[in-house]
Structure 1
């Protein structure tokens, strides 16, 4: 009997260690586990006055706020609601353990195991290692898709300082956002987590400027890739993927906002103005990056005679399902321009705008002049993680708007 009482006491003592009433301000080396592979990122937890927590994910130079974190029972929830994502963990002293969950068809499912160590902030090498390798530069990259027996092209951008790495991969429809990691021996490791995507790049550094390895994504995604250093590597023009079908100059649509109001380019608000259509989705991290650019830009430039209209392509065509997500995104980023539900982000997306040959990717940005004519269609978005390519996008965006306003 005595042993039973002692055993029960030990059990409840252990259980209580996962049921802290508060978590102090702290930083953590966090990782999602794909077998023996780790998708590593930093995590910062700060208590708030309302008994909840501010949680910030750190991917290299990026500090990405999650939604307000909270304790429920013996678990800490760190959600990213626009991506139907939740880190659900139990805290025991200097460790967290739990899982990354995503919503699939209205059901929360466990996706990947999660762990974190308090006070640690390294990526893949706890102590920096001296290296003779220098992988900084631009790379022509081919991702092989075994299930389709073809390859997709990307431009890799790597920046090395000592044995530390940062970079991203640019594709015709967007970029892989902020990747960070290390060179360990003859291999490189980079990863990131943004609430929607979890990426790990692991590759061998080969002679003659080549890198060969694999990309792990999400719960089960994997693609081998080969990169070759090439200062002239470039993507096809972003204006070449989506275009107007012959015989069309304008777009004609009427889509509802979340309150049921139909919005059209024929509305008085848009007459005689330059209009930017943002084809977007609440599920899309690159769209999140573009929205972070669009919101302050619009506030600064709306008085010049320009409007932005967000056309949202969601997982569900049902406003009862997608409307709250759109409203939440608008609130989270302080979107001052209308967002409407235009359709779904699947093979049927092009039916919403039949004048287009297709919707090739998200985000897609359509520029319309004062007479209502489509003047340019830009597929994809080079976000702030791409460095000079982001600066180039801003410069070209402003130049095109100024040109259309001057006409």
Structure 2
């Protein structure tokens, strides 16, 4: 079975219903009946109470069993019926609903059951599903909030899977779809994974993809669909006599897909490269922004927090499905590299109602655990005028990559979801490599007035100095613990007159130690001593530094005998004296574990 296939009414239900859990209210009512009969109340009252409670319990159990489990759902969008898989988990009066994007479950943020009525909140989308059970059918409305008119909703229990008649065509692989899109694209990709009659696919554009289109072969064509709370899509795929595919999406004009290996010979253009779709007209000028965060504090590109950092500027919106695809990757990227000097700023473009009360954006931030800066930049239609330095800026999301010198280096349009397979993997790997390359570049300690940073212009003698010598001495050490495990340490001594930046300093690369453990060893996070405040006269700023010797330590747990095994590590830091700052440094460190 394909891991990305999400059965729906199109597939006639490929999975069994999930059994209902015994609701908490049943337990409480049973306890009340039991206590009433044991409390010495008259026998008649006890005999009268117990059947009534029993009937109530039975009714409650029946209602919950009728709601809980797997459903074949559908929404109607502009007259087009889009089938999808849906699941309900019910626990007493509480309920959780799940959409599916391939193998990914997308749960509601809250929900409740009242008799046969179910209400589910999807705060991350700003939407709500309200439906009532009648004769084994759930019917209601998927309320889209500020995004427009709701979708009529209907769901029934999955039926039996009917095997297809005849030979199932093989369509797995990558196809090219010629188009003339509003973004200037001349081709899209159609990516297909197949297991017999079952298919999981995606259409990949420059701004991202459709999410997983799931379904199976029936009645001479593949019927695929997607609805995960957003981007409802229905796609019928028919194999043509010449080997091409006819793609009929919703009620749009049909498209043709050609196998990728044949497309160029057939005159089909290459799909647009997301790394070249958008560009900055003058890369010698910083990308300027100045917008409020969700608490009303204005944040600008000139703020000290961004000085000397690699900055990703993310053009996003909580309404944008492809932005939901990108955000978990950015969250992970920030957690991995912020201690090395990475900052991320999300410029969120929302509808007017959301700008007044950004409830959906707040839920979006909670949903993905966003720790980087999020700003309210305006409405989506204001994108081009808000960032006039960008050319062909018409995709949500788009990311700009700014070097430590404050100047834009790259732009990347869109972001694929896991449904795009290798293209999703390539996007993540390429962006990560780009960020690592920018982080490895030396950071100017002082920036000329009129560029990034709010520092005054520095005299010509205050400029980054070449680093032909070691700026610190680093001596490793290790001891074995009596009850197993090890304590690693690194004694670091800045050269005379030098200081290095301690954790908590902003605008500079702070000291950090990364280690690679042998098999069987697990390391706790490194422990750094507190830094000392240092007043840097040229910039009239106070930062946390280490001026004298300090020790970085790390505890290691071990399973088995690791005597003689090697631990490798890298010490990263930025050092300055009272006049010059030096490019960030990285020094290799090695420990040999003792007995």
- In structure 2, the CA distance between the partners of 1:170 and 1:109, relative to structure 1 (3 Å rule), is closer
- In structure 2, the CA distance between the partners of 1:69 and 1:232, relative to structure 1 (3 Å rule), is farther
> If the length of structure 1 is used for normalisation, what is the TM-score?
0.84
- Which 10-residue stretch deviates more, 93-102 or 174-183? 93-102
Query: Quick one: distance in 1 between partners of 2:185 and 2:290?
Result: 38
Tell me if the contact between 2:111 and 2:118 (Cα under 8 Å) persists in the aligned partners: yes
Query: Quick one: distance in 2 between partners of 1:36 and 1:316?
Result: 28
Alignment-derived partner of residue 248 in structure 2: 214
Alignment-derived partner of residue 397 in structure 1: 431
Query: Quick one: distance in 2 between partners of 1:189 and 1:381?
Result: 25
Task: For residue 391 of structure 2, give the secondary structure of its aligned residue in structure 1.
Answer: coil
Where in structure 2 are the equivalents of 1:139-154 lying within 5 Å? 139-142=175-178, 153-154=187-188
Query: Quick one: distance in 2 between partners of 1:130 and 1:59?
Result: 29
Query: Quick one: distance in 2 between partners of 1:151 and 1:381?
Result: 15
Query: Quick one: distance in 2 between partners of 1:251 and 1:134?
Result: 48
1:245 lines up with 2:281 in the alignment = yes
Alignment-derived partner of residue 171 in structure 1: 205
Task: For residue 298 of structure 1, give the secondary structure of its aligned residue in structure 2.
Answer: helix
Aligned match for 1:46, one of 81, 89, 109: 89
Aligned match for 2:409, one of 353, 356, 375: 375
Alignment-derived partner of residue 16 in structure 2: none
Task: For residue 282 of structure 1, give the secondary structure of its aligned residue in structure 2.
Answer: coil
Alignment-derived partner of residue 473 in structure 2: none
Structure 1 spans left out of the alignment, 5+ residues: 1-15
Tell me if the contact between 2:127 and 2:145 (Cα under 8 Å) persists in the aligned partners: yes
Aligned match for 1:114, one of 130, 147, 153: 153
- In structure 2, the CA distance between the partners of 1:21 and 1:182, relative to structure 1 (3 Å rule), is closer
- Bigger share in strand: 1
1:341 is displaced (CA, Å) by 0.7
Tell me if the contact between 2:398 and 2:412 (Cα under 8 Å) persists in the aligned partners: yes
Query: Quick one: distance in 2 between partners of 1:278 and 1:72?
Result: 42
Alignment-derived partner of residue 96 in structure 1: 138
Where in structure 2 are the equivalents of 1:270-281 lying within 5 Å? 270-281=306-317
- Which 10-residue stretch deviates more, 207-216 or 250-259? 207-216
1:23 is displaced (CA, Å) by 6.1
Tell me if the contact between 2:185 and 2:272 (Cα under 8 Å) persists in the aligned partners: no
- In structure 2, the CA distance between the partners of 1:232 and 1:292, relative to structure 1 (3 Å rule), is farther
Alignment-derived partner of residue 70 in structure 2: 27
> If the length of structure 2 is used for normalisation, what is the TM-score?
0.58
Where in structure 2 are the equivalents of 1:335-346 lying within 5 Å? 335-346=370-381
- In structure 2, the CA distance between the partners of 1:242 and 1:116, relative to structure 1 (3 Å rule), is same
Alignment-derived partner of residue 198 in structure 1: 232
1:245 is displaced (CA, Å) by 1.7
Aligned match for 1:55, one of 97, 100, 103: 97
Deviations, residues 272-322 of structure 1 (Å, cap 9, x unaligned): 11111111001011100111211122222211211111110112287323x
Task: For residue 223 of structure 2, give the secondary structure of its aligned residue in structure 1.
Answer: strand
Using CA pairs below 8 Å that are at least 6 residues apart, which structure has the higher relative contact order? Answer: 1
Query: Quick one: distance in 2 between partners of 1:128 and 1:78?
Result: 35
Aligned length: 375
Structure 2 spans left out of the alignment, 5+ residues: 1-58, 264-269, 442-595
Query: Quick one: distance in 1 between partners of 2:363 and 2:276?
Result: 33
1:269 lines up with 2:308 in the alignment = no
CA RMSD in angstroms comes to 2.8
Query: Quick one: distance in 2 between partners of 1:319 and 1:95?
Result: 38
Query: Quick one: distance in 1 between partners of 2:143 and 2:295?
Result: 30
Deviations, residues 167-201 of structure 1 (Å, cap 9, x unaligned): 10111111111111111142111101021221000
Query: Quick one: distance in 1 between partners of 2:231 and 2:206?
Result: 18
Alignment-derived partner of residue 235 in structure 1: 271
Tell me if the contact between 1:361 and 1:380 (Cα under 8 Å) persists in the aligned partners: yes
Alignment-derived partner of residue 5 in structure 1: none
Query: Quick one: distance in 2 between partners of 1:256 and 1:171?
Result: 31
